Amino acid sequence: MSKNFAAISQSIVDAIGGAQNVAAVTHCMTRLRFVLNDESVVDAATLKAITGVMGVVRNEKQCQVIIGNNVSQAYAEVLKLLPEGFSASDDSAAPSKNKITLKRIGSGILDALIGTMSPLIPAIIGGSMVKLLAMILDMTGVFDKGASTLVILNTIGDGAFFFLPVMVAASAAVKFKTNMSLAIAIAGILVHPAFIDLMAKAAQGQKVEFIGISVTAVKYTYTVIPALCMTWLLSYIEKWVDRITPVVTKNFLKPMLIMLIAAPIAIMLIGPLGIWIGTGISAVVYTVHSYLGWLSVAIMGAAWPLLVMTGMHRVFTPTIIQTIAETGKEGMVMPSEIGANLSLGGSSLAVAWRTKNPELRQTALAAAASAIVAGISEPALYGVALRLKRPLIACLISGFICGGVAGLGGLASHSMASPGLFTSVQFFDPSNPMSIVWVVGVMVLAVVISFFTTLLLGFEDIPVETVAPKNTAPESTASAAFAVSQSAVK
């Protein structure tokens, strides 16, 4: 892949209609996510043909451009092309005159969830891996049980989870374009020690009221949905209060009214409702798991690449985070990713082995390394599997088999880092030494099955473009063209 990100970014911005067509832009681990003013002016064919672009996903006014692991460098160059003072936030919730439909509502909810959670993933992964490190140090006896070093490490790792509502509120405030400090302050109420103690008493049966209204006992630490819903509502409360407060009192009366209106609504209505929604989603996912067992992991392993293609995989992020925070592990979605990620890596290795195209070979090798070593599968998905089609079928087959094996082995993740070679330690269970054997077996199986299945199914190789030398005779030029056409046929 070309390293000239300035040129790549310029080509991308031109293909999506120029800088004036960009309403907002952000990025996740592998994608540039544009919100456009006019989706119809996008030159999709040109965009997909840009060297360095691995794929394009379009949804409503969003245009997601898959770059790969170096997306942050392309993002930095894109920002240089946008007008000075441009807000680099993802705001796909721009006003729209289109009719409200179930599809648009679903798309809006999904976008809000992804746009809010994506910026928090590094902190969550970092925290979970630190907790995992503390667990390993405790298991190996490097430190005594209850040693202060272990306590501090666990506290460092737990910070992102315990204060997750505050982090979600800050991220959602950017997404919904509302006051971040007010969003953080209201979310902070939910994790305040005095409020936590009050909720604990309410859970034990003690009556808790606010101005005569009963308050539902809810534990907000480690949760996502309540703070997300609360901040969305705050964005409307802030606009309404701004309209009714006199100009001379805005400095003190406006924030005071917002706090007095939003905080009680969050505590008595939005918070409990958000908890019920989050609990309901988790219940559905893990009820399916309890009934189908290993088969549910197998199905998820086969479906995972398709979910990533549509962006639907992020729907599971809050459920995974909350499950790990509450139980210490997650045993359905994360284990299915082992086979899915490494299958894409193994399939890419097979493409690199078989292809005659040097550029495709380099892309496939880089994508394979990303998927197998780091667990970042999108370069392999968009740069190889989806591009050649049959390798994707091989990955779905391998993902199903390896997901089933992971389910039979009872594998569960103690972190939510993308499963790969370096992060496979998250599946090691101190109480079950055989978990090491199972996870290593699943990884080897995923690479081997996808590799040979890809070779068995075959794929249509991308022909190498041959340019004739300038001083070539007409006969030689014709021969070279004939050779190229024959190579394409083969």
Which positions are annotated as active-site residues? Answer: 28
Q: DSSP secondary-structure letter at 256?
A: H
In order of 138, 249, 282, 425, 444, the CA distances from 412 in angstroms are 19, 55, 16, 11, 18
For residues 408 and 439, the answer to whether their CB atoms sit within 8 Å is no
Using left for φ > 0, alpha for ψ between -120 and 50, and beta otherwise, residue 463 falls in beta
Question: 3-class SS at 26?
Answer: strand
For residues 117 and 317, the answer to whether their CB atoms sit within 8 Å is yes
CA atoms within 13 A on the CB side of 260: 8
Q: Which residues contact 178 (CB under 8 A, 6 or more apart)?
A: 231, 234, 235, 238
For residues 384 and 364, the answer to whether their CB atoms sit within 8 Å is yes
- 159, with CB counted inside 10 A (0-12, 13-18, 19+), is middle
Nearest to 396 by CA among 457, 314, 460, 439: 457
Q: DSSP secondary-structure letter at 381?
A: I
Q: How far apart are CA 193 and CA 208, in angstroms?
A: 16
Give the pair of three-digit tokens for residue 225. Answer: 């949905």
In sequence order, which ranges of 328-459 are alpha helices (DSSP H)? 333-354, 358-369, 378-380, 386-388, 390-408, 434-457
Tell me how many degrees the CA angle 105-111-114 measures, rounded to the nearest 5. Answer: 145
**φ/ψ of residue 477, rounded to 5:** -65, -45
For residues 142 and 106, the answer to whether their CB atoms sit within 8 Å is no
Place of tokens 């994360």: 334
Place of tokens 């648009």: 104
Q: How far apart are CA 5 and CA 44, in angstroms?
A: 19
Nearest to 50 by CA among 20, 78, 15: 15
